[in-house]
């Protein structure tokens, strides 16, 4: 059975004074039945309180290494994407040395497995051991070997020498009459609804190109974004043949930015919903809000399967940061609707079907209000 990367982002591999955290540093893919190309990604997080620069990534021969970003602010994440075309079947092991500014010695990563057969061409989907992700930046075509950063490393907490002194003016403000606090007239008043950590997992595969599906989905998302508040944290992910982070951890107050991201969505690619669910669970846990509503909203037409092995991984990864998974369905396919109901049951969430009729898009907002009500 093919084994993807373990989805345990919280495992930390210490090496000296290392300040980078990885999904997994040594990944064993197990036995791969057939593949033309093998590729996937690792998520890297800066767990220090200073910027860290990814300076260079050295790999074995024929190994391509991509980086979604090269400068990581505190608590920032990025992708290291690895790919190679195997020249022969059998066991393989690829080594990577990632050199960064937080320590002298490189981080040592490896990828191993056993390939039973070589695929003759790349016209079908390759074997993929992760779900590709970026933070507003797509990985560039071709290998990216990370150059030396031009920005100097800051090893102190001193203010810059050229920082100007604050100008102090002594003015006596006029006395003001007490201002009566205005009532919270938002759709989700803070006194009535808990903070939300919402991850939108949006299907942009070819099956969503139907003229009705994508516009309906966008309309429902616009409607919900009108209701979110500054205490809510919003992440927008898309998936087809890979997972992409469109926006991560954005305040609900930034509605214009979030709506612009939704407006740009286009359908293309194959469907790999099962892997996308597992990766989105990990991202939702990164922004977990204690005593809040932590929820994934998966918007799709359901043309994929969530297998028993996937369900097991989902349940094992929940631990003390439990995430609700609700499914929002577009389309009329009975088998797909049944599939999405089952997935919502596994995720302890609700199944929501959005159709063309007016008012149907309100169901998404109703789901969030139901989950976050105090």
How high is the pLDDT of residue 197? 94
Question: What is the 3-class SS of the chain, one letter each residue?
Answer: CCCCCCCCCCCCCCCCCCCEEECCCEEEEEEECCECCEEEEEEEEECCCCCEEEEEEEECCCCEEEECCCEECCCCEEEEEEEECCCCCEEEEEEEEEEECCCCCCEEEEEEEEECCECCCCCCCCEECCCCCCCCCCCCCCCCCCCCCCCCCCCCCCCCCCCCCCCCCCCCCCCCCCCCCCCCCCCCCCCCECCEEEEEEEECCHHHCCCCHHHHHHHHHHHHHCCCCCCCEEEEEEECCCEEEEEEEEECCCHHHHHHHHHCCCCCCCCCHHHHHHHHHHHHHHCCCCCCEEEEEEEECCCCCCCHHHHHHHHHHHCCCCCEEEEEECCCCHHHHHHHHHHHHHCEEEEEECCCCCCCCHHHHHHHHHHHEC
Identify the CA nearest to 314 among candidates 338, 291, 348. Answer: 348
pLDDT grade for 271, boundaries at 50, 70 and 90: low
How high is the pLDDT of residue 288? 93
pLDDT in tens, 220-252: 888 888 888 999 999 999 887 778 888 999 998
Question: What percentage of residues in the chain have a pLDDT greater than 90?
Answer: 14
- DSSP-derived pairing of the beta strands 127-128 and 38-46: parallel
- Going from the N-terminus, what domains does the chain have, and what CATH number goes with each? 20-126 (2.60.40.10), 196-372 (3.40.50.410)
pLDDT grade for 158, boundaries at 50, 70 and 90: very low
Residue 284 has pLDDT above 80, yes or no: yes
pLDDT grade for 169, boundaries at 50, 70 and 90: very low
pLDDT grade for 124, boundaries at 50, 70 and 90: very low
Residue 191 has pLDDT above 90, yes or no: no
How high is the pLDDT of residue 136? 42
pLDDT grade for 9, boundaries at 50, 70 and 90: very low
Q: Which of 38-42, 86-90, 244-248, 306-310 has the lowest mean pLDDT?
A: 38-42
Q: What is the mean pLDDT of residues 121-127?
A: 48
pLDDT grade for 290, boundaries at 50, 70 and 90: very high
Q: What is the residue-averaged pLDDT of the chain?
A: 76
Instruction: Identify which of 45-49, 60-64, 259-263, 287-291 has the greatest average pLDDT.
Output: 287-291
Residue 141 has pLDDT above 70, yes or no: no
Q: What is the mean pLDDT of residues 105-133?
A: 67
How high is the pLDDT of residue 121? 61
pLDDT grade for 295, boundaries at 50, 70 and 90: very high
Q: How distant is the alpha carbon of residue 341 from its chain centre?
A: 23
- DSSP-derived pairing of the beta strands 52-59 and 196-203: unpaired
Contact (Cβ atoms closer than 8 angstroms) between residue 301 and residue 203: yes
How high is the pLDDT of residue 184? 45
State pTM to two decimals. Answer: 0.53
What is the distance between the alpha carbons of residues 336 and 301, in angstroms, rounded to a whole number? Answer: 7
Residue 151 has pLDDT above 60, yes or no: no
């Amino acid at each position: 059975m093919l084994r993807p990367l373990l989805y345990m982002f919280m495992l930390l591999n210490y090496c000296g004074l290392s300040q980078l955290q990885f999904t997994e540093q040594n990944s064993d893919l197990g036995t791969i039945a057939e593949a033309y190309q093998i590729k996937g990604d690792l998520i890297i997080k800066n767990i220090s309180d200073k910027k860290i620069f990814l300076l260079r990534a050295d790999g074995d021969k024929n190994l391509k290494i991509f980086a979604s970003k090269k400068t990581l602010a505190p608590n920032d994440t990025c992708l290291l994407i690895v790919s190679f075309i195997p020249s022969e079947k059998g066991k393989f092991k690829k080594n990577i040395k990632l050199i960064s500014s937080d320590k002298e010695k490189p981080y040592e990563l490896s990828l191993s497995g056993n390939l039973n057969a070589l695929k003759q061409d790349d016209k079908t989907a390759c074997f993929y051991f992760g779900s590709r992700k970026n933070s507003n930046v797509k990985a560039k075509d071709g290998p990216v070997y990370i150059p030396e950063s031009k920005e100097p490393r800051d090893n102190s907490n001193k203010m810059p020498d050229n920082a100007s002194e604050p100008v102090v003016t002594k003015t006596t403000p006029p006395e003001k009459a007490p201002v009566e606090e205005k009532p919270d007239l938002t759709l989700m008043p803070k006194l009535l609804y808990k903070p939300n950590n919402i991850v939108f997992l949006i299907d942009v595969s070819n099956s969503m190109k139907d003229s009705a599906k994508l516009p309906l989905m966008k309309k429902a998302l616009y409607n919900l974004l009108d209701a979110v508040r500054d205490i809510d944290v919003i992440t927008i992910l898309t998936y087809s043949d890979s997972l992409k982070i469109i926006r991560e951890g954005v305040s609900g107050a930034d509605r214009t930015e979030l709506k612009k991201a939704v407006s740009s969505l286009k359908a293309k690619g194959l469907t790999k919903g099962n892997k996308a669910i597992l990766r989105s669970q990990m991202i939702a846990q990164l922004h977990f809000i204690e005593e809040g509503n932590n929820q994934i909203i998966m918007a799709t037409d359901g043309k994929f399967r969530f297998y028993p092995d996937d369900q097991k991984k989902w349940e094992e990864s929940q631990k003390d940061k439990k995430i609700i998974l609700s499914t929002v369905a577009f389309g009329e396919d009975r088998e797909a609707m049944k599939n999405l109901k089952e997935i919502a049951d596994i995720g302890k969430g609700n199944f929501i079907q959005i159709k063309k009729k007016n008012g149907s898009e309100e169901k998404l907002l109703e789901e969030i209000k139901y989950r976050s009500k105090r």
